[in-house]
Amino acid sequence: MIKITFPDNTIREYEQGVSALNIAKSLSNSLAKQIIAATVNDISVDANMPINQDATIKLHKWSDKEGKHAFWHTSAHVMAEALETLYPKVKLGIGPAIDNGFYYDIDLPEGKTISEKDFPKIEKKFLEIARGKHVLEKKEMSKNEALNYFSEKGDIYKEELISELEDGTITFYTQNNFTDLCRGPHLPNTGHIKAIKLLNIAGAFWRGDEKRKQLTRVYGISFPKQKLLTEYLVMIEEAKKRDHRKIGKELELFTFSKNVGQGLPLWLPKGAMLRERLENFLKKLQKEHGYEPVMSPHIGQKELYVTSGHYAKYGADSFQPIKTPAQDEEFLLKPMNCPHHCEIYKFKPRSYKDLPIRYAEFGTVYRYEQSGELHGLTRVRGFTQDDAHIFCTPDQLKDEFKKVIDIVLYIFKTLKFENFTTQISLRDVENKEKYIGSDQNWEKAENAILEAVKEKGIKTIIEEGEAAFYGPKLDFMVKDALGRSWQLGTIQVDYNLPERFDLEYIGSDNKKHRPVMIHRAPFGSMERFVAVLIEHTAGKFPLWLTPEQVVVLTISEKYNEYAKKVAYQLNISDIRTLIDDRNEKIGKKIRDSELKRIPFMLIVGENEANTNTISVRKQGKGDLGKMNIDEFAKFINNEVNKELIK
């Protein structure tokens, strides 16, 4: 008998050679049906792999990351088989699982091509194979055997891959009539896959090398239920509609110019004003929480980043140093604000009475990304962090942490990110040598975070070994309206920079001590946050934030003067108001305002002008009836206050 330890630390005994699937069956049949892979002793394995000695186990379902990975990996194999059946002599490259689905790189026989028109045929063949419930059989092979197999088949890409592997480490998986070089893990059988959708075709150089042949990359996604595929396709459609690049253009929030450079956003007036409102909102909040603003330049001497350690770690992959004409100097675009803030901390001696010091800066940083990696506002080369660094004593850590959590939670609430989770990343106590900082400080910091999160009553997962080498951290993950997860907001403890910058304060004992640093950015970056907010709200921002709150629509040009009076009165009440006095039908004006996502439409015609009123329509809700202008102004300001209430 062997001992199997479960994630909750319960231990059960099984016979030697038992598989994860057997273990799942021993717990319940319905569970076993859902198990598609496992992690045994921290290694991902097939659910049917025999276990021969004492082990820890995690069982994976479709709902887990690991489960999806095996599911999509098997799907790639099944797609390859379908392609081989439909396109004999096709040569196969690699076919991994990715974040959302899988792909396979293929080299089609001379004269053959694949287009989206062929997708239904391939999907049909795919499902035919899947429904065969073919078991995925794993076997080891010698290097020679493996080379022979693919050489006979004419799969030159596989041959190349195998030639670089070490003998004795090569495994193959076979299902039905198809065998592939693979490490696994895979589904127990293909029958788990009930739905498939091919998504896209792209060119991809073999091994990412533009000097080698361009293969055809076929992307797909598969699901254990047809319903999940349907939902996914609806979500994809909705996501396309909400794409922040599309909405950003429609609402004229930002643009890019190839002359200024890729990944360098230009904020248009409405976007710049929206960003300013977000920044002012956080500035006010931070002022109430005792933060002080600072401002630092966008460059720093190379030596500054040598001191901080950034240069050694990222220098080669960054924007390269800036030289000066006459002098022997080198500067770097700042990738982070922390080194500058450390220098500000050092501008005079500090006492324990001065702490905590909280320096906040909307600091624009520059990080090089390859052009292929750039994406709208979410992957850019220059972005503004809502950055702050808290310098405190170890004893103040917990309180400071709680205050930062308050800020993050208030932001989530105000911006309607109701669905979020957190993760606490702690150090690996088995490998303490990997971390900087004393045992005592680590314990203090980790306990501070654990207690702070507990006292705030927040759901959290605790991940041991996931801390940075310089300190534990707390991450916030929000789900947007489409159920997609975004990491927004990190609170990171840091023992490293205070050490590297030799930061000090004089304690009440009159001796020198090192402060602890907290890095935090509740929005993360203004660019990424605005992108997420656009996709979350589909551009229908909260009233306090939205570029235009109200539009006055005239029934005919006779009421243009009255419309101006209405708009003037609202604008001086700090309500952002436009006029649409175009010579268009009122129906068209309403539709256009809906497209512009303006929350309130005020219709003015004869009746309204005579009675000094307005007819109010709410975006997506319809008619709210007549109001007078003052009433409406109060109503709007009240709605805004409700949104911002703590």
By the criterion CB under 8 A, which residues form the site for a second copy? 252, 255, 257, 259-261, 264-269, 271-273, 275-276, 292-301, 303-304, 307, 316-327, 329, 331, 333, 339-340, 343-344, 346-348, 359, 364, 366, 368, 370-371, 382
Closer of 121 and 323 to a second copy (Cβ): 323
Burial code (b: 16+ CB inside 10 Å, e: under 16) for 151-180 equals: eeeebbbbbebbeeeeeeebebbbbbebbb
- The SS3 of residue 92 is strand
What is the smallest separation between the CB atom of 197 and a second copy, expressed in angstroms? 34
Report which secondary-structure segment, H or E, holds 630: helix 629-644
640 close to 543: Cβ distance less than 8 angstroms: yes
488 close to 529: Cβ distance less than 8 angstroms: yes
The one catalytic residue in 519, 589, 597, 617 is 519
Q: What distance lies between CA 103 and its chain's CA centroid?
A: 21
User: How far apart are the C-alpha atoms of 215 and 217, rounded to whole Å?
Assistant: 6
User: How far apart are the C-alpha atoms of 79 and 634, rounded to whole Å?
Assistant: 61
Closer of 204 and 624 to a second copy (Cβ): 204
DSSP for 585-628 reads: -HHHHHHHHHHTT-SEEEEE-HHHHHHTEEEEEETTTEEEEEEE
- Looking up tokens 């001065």 gives 354
Closer of 358 and 398 to a second copy (Cβ): 358
618 close to 570: Cβ distance less than 8 angstroms: no
Closer of 27 and 266 to a second copy (Cβ): 266
Closer of 333 and 545 to a second copy (Cβ): 333
Closer of 29 and 327 to a second copy (Cβ): 327
The residues pairing with 358 across neighbouring beta strands, listed in sequence order, are 390
Q: What's 436-466 look like in SS3?
A: CCCHHHHHHHHHHHHHHHHHCCCCEEEEECC
- Residue 381 bears catalytic tag: no
The one catalytic residue in 473, 520, 536, 617 is 473
User: How far apart are the C-alpha atoms of 255 and 244, rounded to whole Å?
Assistant: 11
633 close to 583: Cβ distance less than 8 angstroms: no
Structure tokens at 449: 């975070």
What is the smallest separation between the CB atom of 634 and a second copy, expressed in angstroms? 23
- Residue 338 bears catalytic tag: yes
User: How far apart are the C-alpha atoms of 481 and 241, rounded to whole Å?
Assistant: 13
- Looking up tokens 């690996």 gives 428
Residue 385: which of 527, 486, 530, 264 has the closest Cα? 527
- The SS3 of residue 330 is strand
The one catalytic residue in 180, 387, 494, 581 is 387
- Looking up tokens 């022979």 gives 148
What is the smallest separation between the CB atom of 131 and a second copy, expressed in angstroms? 45
Find the distance separating the first CA and the last CA of the chain, reported in whole Å. Answer: 59
Which one-letter amino acid corresponds to residue 535?
E
49 close to 16: Cβ distance less than 8 angstroms: no
What is the smallest separation between the CB atom of 332 and a second copy, expressed in angstroms? 9
What is the smallest separation between the CB atom of 4 and a second copy, expressed in angstroms? 48
What is the smallest separation between the CB atom of 299 and a second copy, expressed in angstroms? 7
Closer of 231 and 252 to a second copy (Cβ): 252
Indicate left, alpha or beta for 401 from its phi (over 0: left) and psi (-120 to 50: alpha). alpha
Closer of 339 and 522 to a second copy (Cβ): 339
What is the smallest separation between the CB atom of 259 and a second copy, expressed in angstroms? 5
Closer of 219 and 314 to a second copy (Cβ): 314
What is the smallest separation between the CB atom of 497 and a second copy, expressed in angstroms? 13
Geometric angle at alpha carbon 481, from 253 and 526, rounded to 5°? 35
Helix boundaries (H) for 515-557: 526-537
Burial code (b: 16+ CB inside 10 Å, e: under 16) for 252-278 equals: ebbebeeeeeebebebbebbebbbebb
What is the smallest separation between the CB atom of 344 and a second copy, expressed in angstroms? 5
Closer of 172 and 368 to a second copy (Cβ): 368
The one catalytic residue in 367, 381, 520, 536 is 367
195 close to 229: Cβ distance less than 8 angstroms: yes
Residues in the chain: 646
- Looking up tokens 């995690």 gives 58
What is the smallest separation between the CB atom of 274 and a second copy, expressed in angstroms? 10
What is the smallest separation between the CB atom of 94 and a second copy, expressed in angstroms? 22
User: How far apart are the C-alpha atoms of 88 and 112, rounded to whole Å?
Assistant: 10
- Residue 519 bears catalytic tag: yes
User: How far apart are the C-alpha atoms of 300 and 337, rounded to whole Å?
Assistant: 10
- Residue 385 bears catalytic tag: yes
What is the smallest separation between the CB atom of 601 and a second copy, expressed in angstroms? 23
- Residue 275 bears catalytic tag: no
The one catalytic residue in 73, 107, 244, 385 is 385
User: How far apart are the C-alpha atoms of 389 and 522, rounded to whole Å?
Assistant: 12
Report which secondary-structure segment, H or E, holds 389: strand 382-392
Closer of 111 and 208 to a second copy (Cβ): 208
The one catalytic residue in 192, 389, 536, 617 is 389
Catalytic residues: 338, 367, 385, 387, 389, 473, 519
